[in-house]
């Protein structure tokens, strides 16, 4: 056996062997080259992803902490309600001179001469003006507090907060600095006495828009985004799934349906700002819906998400093997029964994945919302989708335009929150696909 | 070996196929796919409680003819059928005929085993459920057991009825598909190359099953295997290029066919 093979080989060896060697070497080299290109491409991608995340996180992680000054506030009846009218007229409590309480507490804590106006001004500047509403809310919620003294954690002013986090360059001359030496000295005293401390910034998640960074948060914008996502889900999922089922399973294949298919694919690629213009002219100018409302935003995002969902659903329906359809039809199931009992359940992971990716896309969309007036300074939570509201990415866009140092970190902090939402949604899509993937 | 000789004995008893009444009658059946004509005026009748095998080279129209018998061709947009096909004297292409009811009476088993990706139990009960054949769980259980027994699968799966049907072996899957078709209690079962995806052992089991099913059902089977046609069928029809070449008792077909083309095909001279 061995002899035979070797003799056969020796007859044909030389020409064939020589040619084969060159070919194999070339092919392997090409393969290695291609692998190297692929690895390089992925490394470049990873590098930029890392740079992006690094920039955002390094700038933004401090946004999740906020400096607070805890002062023993004396809720003096003389200042809040000197004429004792609160029983007859509770509105009196709304307009009381709360900043005075803060001033008195500061004067006492820092041992300043109350008559030195300039010094007192410097001291009160360290506390956020939002302390006024903070104290007011405390008193209105519990009028019994009047006449007592309680420790209240007041938000530090934005620049003080930045200085406390070490974000303000202290080598700059005092006159050009946002925080003066006197205030720095007090900060040191307060920190040493334990009155000034950094705490977790719950306000970032609960507050609405504010021109003061320490009192600004993404709570209102997040609620607006939530309303819009709800509207998109409720409208786009059923409309998209129905449209795709009709187009894929029932519609005759002719020029008209071809045209529709081409148009759907085109719509998926239309710049999102065009959808904003469409929403502006149809929903606001023609249908007379309110500006800056989450309802309009949701409708616009629905239009934008529909093509994505339709394309994903059609692909998922197409991927269901024809043998399953044949089996159901062969048993005497009607077309509807075949689709709803067998095809759609098998296509569901694909449909859900497409929907979640469409939703994630809509969640991060800014441009169309600018055109329908959702770029708004909204302080209060929108009670319904008809109320003025804004959205997370729009809030980021607005903060990015602010000058204060403290807004820079908040911008990055909000981006981190948005990214976390997107990652969670995409993870959900992957898990759903894994969970419902079926063999056939 | 034993099985084969039994079959041979039965075939000897079935010599007089001509006296068996017709279950389905196809008269001048032509099928067009768009402009292309796939079948040319085929006149082929299917006898009751008989296995009729359709043979012929690829693309000869035998599967197309099979699919006209339960109107599976309706699902292809460009397909058009002319001529007349009757089931117990009722025209199945009559506009008043509901295709759902027709397919309940004429079941189908496909080339590739295609169980639903659901449990074995659900696979069998799907047909009875949509046709309202059972009112209670007990009735359904009864149908599942009898169908699986008819398909010779009961003993193999009775302890795992609620496991996925796709987890079975290929041959078991195909028998599950047969059980699924049987569960609707059809009168005719169409089989489109049911063994082409199976190994020889699974094939033997399915063939044995076809042989048993014949007592309760009329069976039409498309096959590429001449040996299979000879083993399972009593009547054989030979198609070529969209024409019905010859239809005859299987014994005669494989020993002394009337048409030269049949002779050539069976001898392996073309196809």
Query: What token pair was written down for B111?
Result: 């080339």
* B181 neighbourhood in chain A, CB within 8 Å: 330-331
CATH number of A219-436, picked from 1.10.3720.10, 3.20.20.70, 3.40.930.10, 1.10.10.10: 1.10.3720.10
Question: pLDDT at residue A95 above 90?
Answer: no
Asked if B116's CB is within 8 angstroms of A327's CB, the reply is: yes
pLDDT in tens, B216-232: 899 999 998 888 999 99
Q: Which of A253, A323, A334 faces B114 most closely, judged by CB atoms?
A: A323
Distance CA A391, CA A421 (A): 13
Distance CA B168, CA B157 (A): 9
Give the pLDDT of residue A245.
95
* B163 neighbourhood in chain A, CB within 8 Å: none
Q: Which of B109, B116, B130 faces A332 most closely, judged by CB atoms?
A: B130
pLDDT in tens, A145-199: 888 888 888 999 888 998 888 888 888 888 888 888 888 889 988 888 888 888 8
* B77 neighbourhood in chain A, CB within 8 Å: 252-253
Q: Which of B116, B104, B118, B60 is nearest to B241 (CA)?
A: B60
Give φ, ψ of B140 to 5 degrees. -60, -45
Asked if B101's CB is within 8 angstroms of A337's CB, the reply is: no
Give the pLDDT of residue B96.
87
Distance from CA of B258 to the nearest CA of A (A): 35
* B116 neighbourhood in chain A, CB within 8 Å: 324, 327-328, 342
CA angle, A107 then A109 then A112, to 5°: 40
Burial B142-175 (b: 16+ CB within 10 A, else e): ebbebbbebbbbbeebeeebeebbbebeebbbbb
Distance CA A206, CA A215 (A): 10
- How many residues does this entry show for chain A? 440
Q: Which of A252, A326, A332 faces B100 most closely, judged by CB atoms?
A: A332
- Partners of residue A43 on adjacent β-strands: none
pLDDT in tens, A6-17: 444 545 555 555
Provide the mean pLDDT of chain A. Answer: 88
* A439 neighbourhood in chain B, CB within 8 Å: 117, 166
* A329 neighbourhood in chain B, CB within 8 Å: 72, 75, 103
Q: Which of B72, B131, B184 faces A329 most closely, judged by CB atoms?
A: B72
* Element spanning A206, H or E: helix A203-206
Q: Are A81 and A146 in contact (CB under 8 A)?
A: yes
Residue A218's Cβ-count burial label (10 Å; 0-12, 13-18, 19+) is buried
Query: What token pair was written down for A188?
Result: 């040191």
Q: Which of B77, B110, B130 faces A327 most closely, judged by CB atoms?
A: B110
Asked if A329's CB is within 8 angstroms of B184's CB, the reply is: no
Helix ranges restricted to H, chain B = 2-13, 62-68, 99-105, 120-130, 137-150, 154-157, 170-182, 200-213, 226-232, 250-255, 260-266
Q: Are B160 and B93 in contact (CB under 8 A)?
A: no
The count of CB pairs under 8 A between chains A and B is: 68
Asked if A334's CB is within 8 angstroms of B103's CB, the reply is: no
Distance CA B24, CA B88 (A): 6
Q: Residue A436's closest chain B neighbor by CA?
A: B117
Q: Which of B75, B103, B109 faces A332 most closely, judged by CB atoms?
A: B103
Query: Cβ–Cβ contacts within 10 Å for residue A264, how many?
Result: 18
Q: In chain B, where are the structural domains located?
A: 108-185
Longest dimension (CA), chain A: 121
Distance from CA of B52 to the nearest CA of A (A): 19
Asked if A332's CB is within 8 angstroms of B77's CB, the reply is: no
Side-by-side strand order, sheet with B106-109 = B106-109, B188-192, B218-222, B51-55, B235-240, B243-249
Query: What token pair was written down for A264?
Result: 């759907």
Q: Hey, what long-range contacts does B240-244 have (CB within 8 A, 24 or more apart)? A: B240/B56, B240/B57, B240/B60, B240/B265, B241/B60, B241/B61, B242/B37, B242/B38, B242/B39, B242/B40, B242/B60, B242/B61, B243/B40, B243/B42, B243/B61, B244/B42, B244/B43, B244/B44
Q: Hey, what long-range contacts does B143-146 have (CB within 8 A, 24 or more apart)? A: B143/B183, B144/B183
Residues in chain B whose beta carbon is closer than 8 A to a beta carbon of chain A? 70, 72, 75, 77, 100-104, 107-110, 112, 114-117, 126-127, 130-131, 166, 177, 180-181, 184
Interface confidence (ipTM) of the complex:
0.85
Q: How many CA atoms lie within 13 A of A57 on its CB side?
A: 8
Q: In chain A, where are the structural domains located?
A: 2-61, 63-205, 219-436
Q: Which of B117, B177, B184 faces A332 most closely, judged by CB atoms?
A: B184
pLDDT in tens, A107-160: 888 888 888 888 888 888 899 888 888 888 888 888 888 888 888 889 998 889
- Partners of residue A197 on adjacent β-strands: A68
* A341 neighbourhood in chain B, CB within 8 Å: 126, 130
Residues in chain A whose beta carbon is closer than 8 A to a beta carbon of chain B? 252-253, 321, 323-334, 337, 341-342, 346, 438-440
Asked if A326's CB is within 8 angstroms of B110's CB, the reply is: yes
* B109 neighbourhood in chain A, CB within 8 Å: 330
Q: Are B240 and B261 in contact (CB under 8 A)?
A: yes
Question: pLDDT tens digits, chain B, 271 residues: what are they?
Answer: 444 555 555 555 555 566 778 889 999 999 999 889 999 999 999 999 999 999 988 888 899 999 999 999 888 888 889 999 999 888 999 888 888 889 999 999 999 999 999 999 999 999 999 998 888 899 999 999 999 988 889 999 989 999 999 889 988 999 999 999 999 999 999 999 999 888 888 899 889 989 889 988 999 999 988 889 999 999 999 999 899 998 888 988 888 888 888 888 888 877 5
Query: What token pair was written down for B13?
Result: 């008893």
Question: Which residue is it, tokens 């529909």?
Answer: A306
What is the pTM for the complete model shown?
A: 0.81
Q: Which of B75, B127, B177 faces A332 most closely, judged by CB atoms?
A: B127
3-state helix, strand, coil in chain A (%, to 5): 70, 5, 25
* Element spanning B42, H or E: strand B36-47
Side-by-side strand order, sheet with B22-33 = B36-47, B22-33, B79-87, B90-91
| Residues in CB range of A208: below 8 A, 6 or more apart | A216, A217, A219, A220, A221, A378, A379, A380, A381
Asked if A327's CB is within 8 angstroms of B180's CB, the reply is: yes
Q: Residue B116's closest chain A neighbor by CA?
A: A324
CA angle, B198 then B202 then B208, to 5°: 125
């Amino acid at each position: 056996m061995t002899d035979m093979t070797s003799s056969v080989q020796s007859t044909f060896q030389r020409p064939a062997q020589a040619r084969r060697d060159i070919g194999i070497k070339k092919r392997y080299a090409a393969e290695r080259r291609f692998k190297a290109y692929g690895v390089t491409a992925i490394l470049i991608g990873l590098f930029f992803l890392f740079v992006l995340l690094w920039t955002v996180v390094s700038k933004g992680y401090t946004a999740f902490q906020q400096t607070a000054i805890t002062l023993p506030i004396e809720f003096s009846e003389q200042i809040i309600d000197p004429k004792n009218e609160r029983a007859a007229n509770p509105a009196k409590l709304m307009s009381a001179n709360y900043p005075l309480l803060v001033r008195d507490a500061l004067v006492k804590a820092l041992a300043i001469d109350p008559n030195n106006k300039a010094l007192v001004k410097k001291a009160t500047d360290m506390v956020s003006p939002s302390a006024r509403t903070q104290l007011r809310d405390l008193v209105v919620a519990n009028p019994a507090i009047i006449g007592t003294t309680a420790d209240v954690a007041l938000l530090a002013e934005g620049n003080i907060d930045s200085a406390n986090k070490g974000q303000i360059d202290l080598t700059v001359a005092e006159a050009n600095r946002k925080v003066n030496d006197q205030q720095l000295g007090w900060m040191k005293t307060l920190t040493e006495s334990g009155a000034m401390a950094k705490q977790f910034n719950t306000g970032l998640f609960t507050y609405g828009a504010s021109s003061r960074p320490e009192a600004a948060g993404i709570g209102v914008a997040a609620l607006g985004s939530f309303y819009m996502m709800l509207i998109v889900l409720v409208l786009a999922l059923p409309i998209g799934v129905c449209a795709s089922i009709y187009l894929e399973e029932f519609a005759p294949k002719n020029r008209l349906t071809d045209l529709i298919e081409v148009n759907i694919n085109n719509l998926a690629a239309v710049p999102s700002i065009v959808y904003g213009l469409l929403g502006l002219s149809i929903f606001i100018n023609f249908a007379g819906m309110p500006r800056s409302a989450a309802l309009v935003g949701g409708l616009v995002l629905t239009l934008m998400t529909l093509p994505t969902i339709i394309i994903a659903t059609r692909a998922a329906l197409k991927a269901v093997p024809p043998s399953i359809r044949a089996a159901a039809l062969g048993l005497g199931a009607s077309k509807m029964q075949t689709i709803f009992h067998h095809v759609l359940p098998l296509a569901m992971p694909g449909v859900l994945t497409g929907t979640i990716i469409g939703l994630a896309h809509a969640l991060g969309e800014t441009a169309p919302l600018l055109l329908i007036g959702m770029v708004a300074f909204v302080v209060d939570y929108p009670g319904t989708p008809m109320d003025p509201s804004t959205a997370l990415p729009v809030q980021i866009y607005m903060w990015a335009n602010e000058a204060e140092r403290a807004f820079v970190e908040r911008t990055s902090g909000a981006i981190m929150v948005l990214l976390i939402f997107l990652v969670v949604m995409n993870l959900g899509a992957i898990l759903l696909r894994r969970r419902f993937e079926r063999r056939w | 070996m034993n099985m084969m000789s039994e079959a041979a004995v039965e075939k000897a008893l079935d010599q007089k196929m001509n006296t068996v009444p017709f279950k389905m009658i196809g008269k001048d059946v032509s099928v067009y796919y768009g402009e292309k004509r796939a079948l040319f005026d085929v006149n082929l009748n299917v006898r009751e409680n008989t296995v009729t095998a359709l043979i012929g080279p690829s693309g000869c129209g035998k599967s197309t003819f099979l699919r006209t018998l339960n109107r599976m061709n309706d699902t292809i947009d460009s397909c058009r059928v002319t001529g007349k096909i009757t089931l117990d004297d009722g025209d199945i292409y009559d506009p008043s005929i509901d295709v759902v009811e027709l397919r309940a009476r004429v079941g189908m088993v496909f080339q590739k085993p295609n169980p639903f990706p659901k449990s074995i139990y659900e696979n069998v009960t799907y047909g009875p459920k949509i046709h309202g054949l059972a009112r209670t769980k007990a009735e359904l259980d009864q149908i599942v057991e009898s169908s699986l027994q008819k398909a010779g699968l009961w003993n193999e799966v009775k302890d795992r009825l609620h496991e996925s049907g796709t987890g079975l072996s290929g041959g078991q899957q195909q028998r599950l598909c047969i059980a699924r078709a049987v569960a609707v209690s059809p009168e005719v079962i169409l089989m489109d190359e049911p063994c082409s995806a199976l190994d020889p052992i699974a094939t033997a089991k399915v063939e044995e099953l076809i042989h048993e099913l014949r007592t309760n059902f009329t069976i039409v089977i498309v096959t590429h295997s001449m040996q299979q046609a000879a083993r399972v069928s009593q009547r054989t029809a030979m198609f070529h290029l969209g024409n019905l070449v010859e239809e005859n008792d299987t014994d005669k077909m494989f020993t002394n066919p009337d048409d030269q083309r049949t002779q050539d095909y069976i001898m392996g001279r073309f196809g």
